[in-house]
Chain A
């Protein structure tokens, strides 16, 4: 059990990461990563939905009829997404408003459906819950790294705080930072994601070669 849990953590965070290896959840990866805070909330929301959907599906795995299993999975996912949406509206309504359709987009995230079908529907609740959390974190940390660089280069800010202007002025560039508009737009997301996949897969390949 313990070694299985460690394997899941390693697999979801790095070896079989949903974004860089399985190439899942790309739509939201490109859409939400231009602002760090939005990405963080998206990641937290997805992790919550992922974990509790996995737990629910795992608990019901022996009673869900095969022919309606996907309908049940979508129903469970949507219910948890609505709970996340209502919670955000009640507690941090301004952030919920800023996120707009981002939260609803969690329903369409194929990582959730993929993990429910591939793992939660055939594993025990505890391990399925852990897999849900780790898949969510595995997705979130990649997005956060991409969002950090996109926001930094695109707006010159980190979590909304201007850092590039003072930095440029310190090194003598009086006009401050010229924002890379490209980074804020979807092509910037493609570029950063491709770069990240290239670097991470090269590292993983180097690691495997060393092991061999």
Chain B
């Protein structure tokens, strides 16, 4: 056989062989991966909602730890999830829709959020997904805000492809802890002179101790931090508007 044609034939054969192997491995592992991803999703929601296993205190977690390091019993996690999290689909009213259309980001007639309940079944906060751009790719997160919409309860990043050791450190508790208690009044027009959320180089006290609109950035990950800032300042007001506009509907769910 001609050398050129043999090379092409060989390449096709090897590619087909490895595609078959990979497809088989993928098919075998698909269900298990989905199941694991679902558990990861529950973990993220719990972290953002500041729900931890009974014997774990967030303050004692190392700054480098991630959501995955929290030692959850899967049964307990599922139980908490069933008792304290309620998913709802809220309609987007015409004024918000118009605003989205002008920004070119209108995609749907409704927004999916979840309601976080406390142990007594009372509304404690609202959670929703956020999406933005980092330095290398999409960053996805789950954010939870207090029921009066003035403070952030927490945030967890569910997807990122930032530089390991630099931007990828957004996954660490040390960074995410600054979002606990973050003042969101800038979005509600209470302090129009201030930027809604700001990133600063150094922040001595946590927002839980003294609530401000500031988050400590990661040194060496400026673009990632700016991406997160943009994501928050763009997506948060949208969800806050949708929740405010649907307050009556949410109360009926209670």
**Are A160 and B164 in touch, CB under 8 angstroms?**
no
Give A148 Cβ to nearest chain B Cβ, in Å: 14
Find out whether the CB atom of B68 lies under 8 angstroms from the CB atom of A86.
Answer: no
Tell me which residues across on chain B come within 8 A of A34, comparing CB atoms.
Answer: 164-165
Chain B's interface size range is 35 or more
Contact B164–A79 (Cβ < 8 Å):
no
A93 touches B165 (CB 8 A): no
User: B164: which A residues are within 8 A, CB to CB?
Assistant: 31-32, 34, 38, 100-102, 105
**Interface readout for A157-171 with B: 1 if CB under 8 Å, 0 if not?**
100111000000000
Interface of A is mostly: helix
Return the chain A residue nearest B64 by Cβ: A155
Q: Nearest CB to that of B21 among chain A residues?
A: A79
B14 within 8 A of A: yes
Residue B29 is within 8 A (CB to CB) of chain A in the complex: yes
> 0/1 per residue, B150-165, Cβ < 8 Å to A?
0000000000111111
> At the interface, yes or no: B210 with Cβ under 8 Å from chain A?
no
How many Å lie between the Cα of A33 and that of B50 in the bound state? 30
Whether A185 contacts B220 by the Cβ 8 Å rule is yes
B10 near A65 with CB under 8 A, answer yes
Classify chain A: how many residues form its interface, as a range: 35 or more
DSSP majority for the B interface? helix
Chain B residues within an 8 Å CB radius of A145: none
Q: A23 in the interface, Cβ–Cβ < 8 Å?
A: no
Let me know if A94 is at the binding interface, CB within 8 A.
yes
Assembled-state Cα–Cα distance A93/B68 (Å): 9
- Interface bits B1-28 vs A (CB < 8 Å: 1, else 0): 0010011001100110010011001100
Q: Taking the nearest CB of chain A, how far is it from the CB of B77, in angstroms? A: 12
Q: Mind listing 22 A-B residue pairs with CB under 8 Å?
A: A34-B164, A63-B10, A67-B3, A68-B11, A82-B22, A86-B25, A89-B36, A94-B43, A94-B68, A95-B68, A97-B40, A98-B66, A98-B69, A151-B64, A157-B62, A157-B64, A160-B62, A160-B64, A179-B63, A185-B220, A186-B165, A186-B166
Given contacts A30-B165, A94-B40, A160-B62, 5 further A-B pairs with CB under 8 A are A38-B164, A75-B15, A79-B18, A160-B69, A184-B169
